[in-house]
Structure formats: C-alpha cells, structure tokens
Amino acid sequence: MLDYAARGSRALRRSQIEEEPIDSPGIIPKHQKQSVTAKLPLLEIIQRAVFRIQPGTKLETVVALIALYYACEGAWEWSKPKLKRLFSSQVTISELDPIALEVLAYMSANVMSKADTTNAVLVSRSSALAGGDSYMRDMMFLARHRGHAKKETDEIQCLPPIGTKVFWVGFRPFLFQRVGGRKPGSRFEEIESQQPAILLTTPGWNLKPITDFVKTCHDFKVKNSAGSTTVFFAGSGGMGMGPPGSWSSVTKAVRKLDTVDMDESVKADLLKDAEDYYSLDSKNFYADCGIPYRRGYLLYGRPGTGKTSFSSALAGHLKCDVYMINLASGTISDGQLFSLFLGLPQKCVVVIEDVDSAGIGREDDMQPNAQHQGSQHPQKQEEPKQQEAAAAASHPGRYGRRSERRHANVTLSGLLNAIDGNASQEGRLLIMTSNNPDALDEALTRPGRIDKKVFFGNMNEASARSIFRRLMGRRAIATGNLTETEVEKKAAAFARNLPPDEFTPAEVQNFLQFCRGDAEKAVAEVGMWAEKRRKETEPKRVNGITNGVTKKDVPPADFSNMDPTAMLDALRMGPLAAFNGINMSSAVPTMATEEAMSAMTPLSDFGEIDNE
C-alpha cells in the first residue's frame, strides 16, 4: 500500500518537475529530493504545504514541529487526569443507589431530550418491561407521567448512554459518565460485570456544586412524580431483581388511601400518627429527649386484608418512597440486611413483609443458620425440623402454609441490629406485616420498636358497601348504566347478601372482578359465591383458628381433664395455641387454668388468623 503511494507520489513529483520551473514556490530544492520525504509521502505533502505558506522552511523544522506536537500530546495525556484531579471534584454514585435513579431521571428529561443530543440509548416500553430493567421502566413511567410521551403507544424514550456527556447547569459545566453495567449482548451476566455507576465531575475544589445538583435531581423527581410512588424491593438475586443486599425499584401510581377499606377510625389514627411523626415539632421532640427518631407499626391479619396495600398508600400519602423487604426468601443475610437499612433515605416507609414466616425465632431455639454453616452436631441439626413438624401437627393454627417456618439467613439479632442498631438510619417509618403475630419474638415487637399494633380484619358491612361502590359503582355511573342512588341501593343489597366478617377483601375483590362490572350479577350471586367459598375452605377450619373462624365458631371440646401444666405450656406457646380444638365456654377451669386464662389476650383482639 505504502509502496504504491510512494510510487504515485514520485510519478507526480517527476511530472511536476518537468512542467514547472525549478525555482517556483512549492517545489522542493534538488538536494532534498532524495531525502526522507521520498520514503514518507505524507511528510512530503506536509513539507510542500509548509513551503507554500512559508517558502524556505527546512524539513528539519517540520519534523521538529511534528515531534513537538506528539511530545505535547503525550504530556497532555499524562497530565490530564492529574490536572482533572487537581482542579475538579467528582462523585461516584452506584446505579443500585436510589439517588442514581433521580440523577438519571433528570438527565433523561433535561439533557438527553435537547435537540443537540447525538448519543443516547433508545428504549421501547415493551423491551424495558420484558427486560425487567427497573431503571428503564421508571424512565418510561416518568416520561409518560410528565406528558413527554402522551399516549400509551408513544413508546420510545431517550436515556443517557454508557459513556460520557458534558452538560451545563446554569453557567457550570458537568461531566456525566455512566460506567460498568451489563456485558454487551448479555442479559444475565449483570452480576459478573463491573458494578454500574454514575460519575459526576465539575470544575472546582469542593463537592457542593455536585451535591446541589443531586438535590436538584431529587427535587425534580419529587415534583414530576407527584401522583407516583417508587417501590424499592430488596433484591433476592432472582430474575428482574437486583443482587441480594441491593434495592431494585419500580415507579407506580400512588394507591389512594380511600381505596383501602378498613375501619375509618383506625385509618385516621394511623394517618395522624404518621403525619405527626414527620412534623418538625416531633422531630425536635425526639432530638431534645434523646429518643432515636424512629417509629414502627405492626399490621397483622389474614393474607389479603390490605396490610401491604395500606403501607404503600400510606407512603404515597406521606410523599415518600416505600422499601419492601421479604425475609422469607431466605437470600438476605444479616450483613446484607444491615447494609440495606444503611442505604435508606431519611424519610421513607420500610415494609418487612410476613415477618413471622421468615423463620426468625428466639435464637436459642431457632438457630436458623446452623444448617447453612455446617454444625458440628448433626443430631442437633435435625432438632429444629422435628420440633417444627411436631408443632405443626399439634398447632395447625400457628403453623399454616403462610406461617410455615423457612430457614432464613437473617437471625433475630441481625434483624434487631438492622432496624435499630446504633448505625441504623433515623427518620424511617418501619411497618412489619404478619399473619401470625403471636409467633413473633417479644423483642421484635417491644415498645420503641413497634409503637402501634393494628389488626386488619375481614369484610364487614361498611367495607362491603365501599368495595362495591369502588369496583362496580364508579364504572356503572361513568357508563350511565346506573345513577348514584341506584348504586347506593345495590351496594347496600350486596353488603346484606355478603356474610359479615367471613371473607377477606382480596377474596371479595376477586369475586367482583369475576362479575366484570355487572352490578346485578354481583348482588344476585354473592350469596351463592359465599356458600361455595365457605365449602372450599371448610377443610381448613377443622380443629384450629383458621379462615373466617371466630371464637363462637370453634367446635365444643371438653378440657376438664386437661393437665393444668399442659394448659400453661400451651399458653406459653402463645394465646392462640391454647384455643386449638378447645371451646372455653364448655370448659370447667381449674384454679391454674383460670389464672392462666385471665392472663390471655382475648381472641377477639386477634380476629381471624389465617391457616390457609
């Protein structure tokens, strides 16, 4: 290739020499003809160009200038990072950190949407959803929410690419870099690749401009996501989830509190308590009294009574994000739980779901990690399992499917340390949900950790009317099928036909969805449905505190012959255990049992506890 070029160049030179007089400008003097330029045509072209500009310039000068250029370039490359370090400030934000989402949302809306953008990641809504990429899903949500994408069909979104981007905020330049991330072409090797992160750099000697920028991003997100909540899930390493110990997120429309049917006075009390907790007065009060600024609620009741729904509606009402942790997955260790809590923002709602089913008991009798760590006493490893099986056989009410003890990686002390250890973040509102509150360790629910215990019960008449209005009435009124008065009448009829305090809101919601907006059908068929549903769940009611069983429903049994010590043991296991298969009304209590009974929490306080 070079050879051809050199030959071509020589031919050109010969023809020029023949045509032009010797002294004309731009012609190389004869003594230089066979020089190095004959071998390096590029050099010759440069030399000719220089001759035209400055006749008489020597080749050595040209070569020296080129060498100087390369030397300077090398020196610049070498000193660039040092100068950058010396004259600029930089922060690194892991993309797994919730702040990253806010920065990316700002970038996507304010920087990438500008006309001069030449490099971006384009993503369609369907690929974002299919890929389980929470960041992309969130961006799509924000775009639609802000009206950038007006229709559901407007599915393309511009996101900052992996790489660098310079942008200005006011008169200050920022360098935005996205590094790391998933290996190209791979969807499943994310964990193996470098952890994705955002680098923000700006000229100056302090971090304030960057922290101000991050705050701007936060405010931007809060302003634009009014009407939406970001739900963070503690990663379990599963598909679409982040690695254990990290948060994955999805932005959802806020669930309104009036869509959660529960006792209105209880709801109002919880709202007032949560609002008071986040007031400035209360913050100062906690600080003045030296009380750790934390608050906790225990929401208990059967599955499908609205504990989780209420928690996220409450977060939306308080205008903060919700962080969900499911310990029962068994993939989160003590250390990971601790770092999850460390990464929480100051104001947020943290929900630990089904805390009783996480297999966390008193450490002396549970030893949840013994099996994982390879205990030196094999016979002891079997003990918890045997105890569990025996307990399950004798106390079906406590150990139903939902309450099944799994082998969590988190220990009780690990959990306590995470939620209120010295290093734990202050300002969060912790909500634990449970289907089986009496299985919880006292240490977990003591005042200071849990400040309110709230029972979520089955549908009563008022909530039946409310759910009917919401799921059937609104649509019927909107389509003109029914008037408001007619809806009220039908809601009352529906509530009359639905047996009170027997079915969960989730069950009733399911029935109403099945009616597909046909209010007549819902009113007419709810009685039959209840009967059928009762039969389906009947087998689970035998001998226990199960679905829909209230104190009066428990079949009579005689325990006059029961050993008082056994009765006390049963009580120690938890108040509900003592009711298994025993009707207190037909009992003839001895002194010991009478004393024990008076110490028991009335069953009505617990309502119906699930044993699905």
Ligand X SMILES: Nc1ncnc2c1ncn2[C@@H]1O[C@H](COP(=O)(O)OP(=O)(O)OP(=O)(O)O)[C@@H](O)[C@H]1O
Binding site for ligand X (CB under 6 A): 259-262, 303-309, 353-354, 433, 435, 456, 505-506, 509
Give the number of other CB atoms < 10 A from CB of residue 345. 15
Q: Within 10 A of 421 (CB to CB), how many other CB atoms are there? A: 13
| Smallest separation, CB 448 to ligand X (Å) | 24
**Helix and strand totals (H; E) in the chain:** 23, 13
By beta-carbon proximity to ligand X, the closer residue of 137 and 255 is 255
Of 17 and 257, CB closest to ligand X: 257
Q: What is the DSSP letter of 473?
A: I
Q: Is 520 left (phi over 0), alpha (psi -120 to 50) or beta?
A: alpha
How near is the Cβ of 400 to ligand X at its closest, in Å?
12
CB atoms within 10 A of CB 104: 25
Shorter beta-carbon distance to ligand X: residue 228 or 326: 326
> Nearest distance from residue 484's CB to ligand X, in Å?
21
- Min dist CB 529 to ligand X, Å, is 16
Indicate the residue among 362 and 401 with the shorter CB distance to ligand X.
401
| DSSP conformation letters of 388-404 | HHHHHHH-TTTSSTTTP
Buried b (16+ CB within 10 A) or exposed e, 531-570: eebeeebeebbeebbbbbbebeebeeeebeebeeeebbeb
- Cβ distance to ligand X smaller for residue 464 or 582: 464
CB nearer to ligand X: pick between 246 and 305: 305
Minimum distance, C-beta of residue 554 to ligand X, in the bound complex (Å):
23
Q: How many other C-beta atoms are found inside a 10 Å radius of the C-beta of residue 328? A: 24
Q: Among residues 103 and 432, whose Cβ is nearest to ligand X?
A: 432
| Strand residues in 307-425 grouped as ranges (E) | 322-325, 348-352
Cβ-closest position to ligand X? 306
Give the long-range contacts of residues 187-193, CB within 8 A, separation 24 or more. 187/131, 191/237, 191/243
Q: Least distance to ligand X from the beta carbon of 510, Å?
A: 8
Least Å from the CB of residue 507 to ligand X? 8
Sequence letter at residue 49: A
DSSP letter (8 states) at residue 601: P
Pairing of strands 428-434, 88-94: unpaired
CB of 467 to ligand X, least distance (A): 6
Instruction: Tell me how far, at minimum, the Cβ of 237 lies from ligand X, in Å.
Output: 21
Q: Using only C-alpha atoms, what is the Rg of the chain?
A: 36
Q: Which two tokens stand for residue 105?
A: 């949302």
Residue whose CB is less far from ligand X, 266 or 557: 266
Length of the chain: 612
Quick check: 463 and 495 in contact, CB under 8 A? no
**Nearest CB to ligand X, comparing residues 306 and 330:** 306
